[in-house]
């Protein structure tokens, strides 16, 4: 089953990736990485130039060295606020975008008044994105934490707020990490097998906090799954002000999509 949450050692073998330059592909002037430019100068495998692939959204290359074709946009509505939309960084593979739509809707139903804060996905054509090592191929998204005010009441944030292991905002704003709602969001990801979620990045102190809450309020299976999926990426800044989620390569696109980042 694609996206099984208990399988984390992905690293699938894939064939060579090539691409024909077209109106839909980024130009070399878009500050692409050398390997991405090399991809653009060649052709996609023949089958990816024909239907149904020629009309599908494609995620190509690595999370930190790739691009996308024909993605879809995630837009703001009553369930979510997409703060990256004005900058055009709200594009992703349909599997990712549709998962986030489900998440935002389900959170609003579970805790009325909740609104998901969404940061960067990828640019429309993919490729390097300012402020990120990944987010290049339409499979990554940053999601802000749910918070409470000093009186313990749920609030809707319009910006990412960093929290320490005690659940206190690091900026002195008085906001508190909402254990219940943030766990409900993680649990929603654990239950959603359609998108093929592969990673949930979060700082180690907040990971510990979430797992401690889950030990008291969730099933053993969900605690076990969260223990595997929640992680702080190596050689990266602490993810203490947002979740970073990544989905797996679509099953039918593994020939052109790479699960893990390219080693530098």
CA distance 166 to 205: 8
Classify 71-253 by CATH class. Answer: alpha beta
Give the pLDDT confidence score for residue 135 in this predicted structure. Answer: 96
Q: What is the pLDDT of residues 91-102, one digit of tens each?
A: 999 999 999 999
Q: What percent of the chain has pLDDT over 70?
A: 83
* Tokens, residue 84: 């990256």
Give the pLDDT confidence score for residue 217 in this predicted structure. Answer: 97
Torsion, Cα 232 236 239 240, to 10 degrees, reads 110
User: What share of residues in the chain are helix, strand, coil (percent, to 5)?
Assistant: 30, 20, 50
pLDDT band at 34 (very low <50, low <70, confident <90, very high): low
Higher pLDDT, residue 66 or 5: 66
Mean pLDDT of the chain: 86
Q: What is the pLDDT of residues 238-247, one digit of tens each?
A: 899 999 999 9
Lowest mean pLDDT among 5-9, 170-174, 186-190: 5-9
* Contact assessment for residue 228 and residue 10, using Cβ atoms and an 8 Å cutoff: no
Enumerate the domain spans of the chain: 71-253
Q: What is the mean pLDDT of residues 170-180?
A: 97
For residue 244, what are the CA distances in angstroms to 42, 172, 230? 32, 23, 10
User: How far from the centroid of its chain's Cα atoms is residue 252's Cα?
Assistant: 20
- Nearest to residue 177, comparing CAs of 206, 212, 217, 207? 206
pTM listed for this prediction? 0.84
Give the pLDDT confidence score for residue 234 in this predicted structure. Answer: 76
């Amino acid at each position: 089953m694609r996206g099984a949450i208990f399988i984390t050692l992905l690293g699938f073998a894939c064939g060579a990736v090539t691409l024909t330059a077209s109106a839909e592909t980024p130009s070399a002037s878009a500050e692409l990485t050398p390997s991405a430019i090399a991809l653009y100068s060649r052709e996609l495998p023949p089958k990816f130039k024909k239907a149904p692939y020629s009309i599908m959204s494609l995620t190509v290359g690595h999370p930190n060295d790739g691009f996308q074709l024909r993605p879809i946009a995630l837009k703001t509505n009553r369930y979510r606020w997409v703060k990256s939309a004005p900058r055009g960084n709200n594009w992703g593979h349909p599997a990712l975008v549709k998962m986030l739509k489900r998440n935002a809707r389900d959170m609003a139903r579970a805790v009325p008044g909740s609104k998901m804060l969404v940061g960067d996905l990828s640019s429309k054509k993919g490729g390097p994105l300012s402020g990120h090592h990944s987010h290049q191929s339409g499979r990554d998204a940053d999601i802000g934490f749910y918070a409470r005010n000093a009186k313990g009441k749920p609030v809707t944030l319009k910006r990412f707020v960093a929290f320490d292991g005690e659940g206190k905002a690091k900026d002195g704003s008085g906001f508190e990490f909402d254990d219940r709602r943030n766990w409900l969001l993680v649990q929603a990801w654990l239950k959603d097998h359609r998108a093929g979620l592969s990673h949930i990045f979060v700082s180690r102190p907040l990971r510990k906090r979430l797992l401690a809450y889950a030990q008291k309020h969730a099933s053993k299976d969900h605690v076990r799954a969260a223990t595997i999926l929640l992680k702080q990426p190596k050689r990266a800044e602490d993810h203490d002000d947002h979740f970073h989620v990544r989905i797996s390569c679509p099953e039918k696109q593994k020939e052109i999509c790479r699960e893990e980042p390219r080693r530098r």
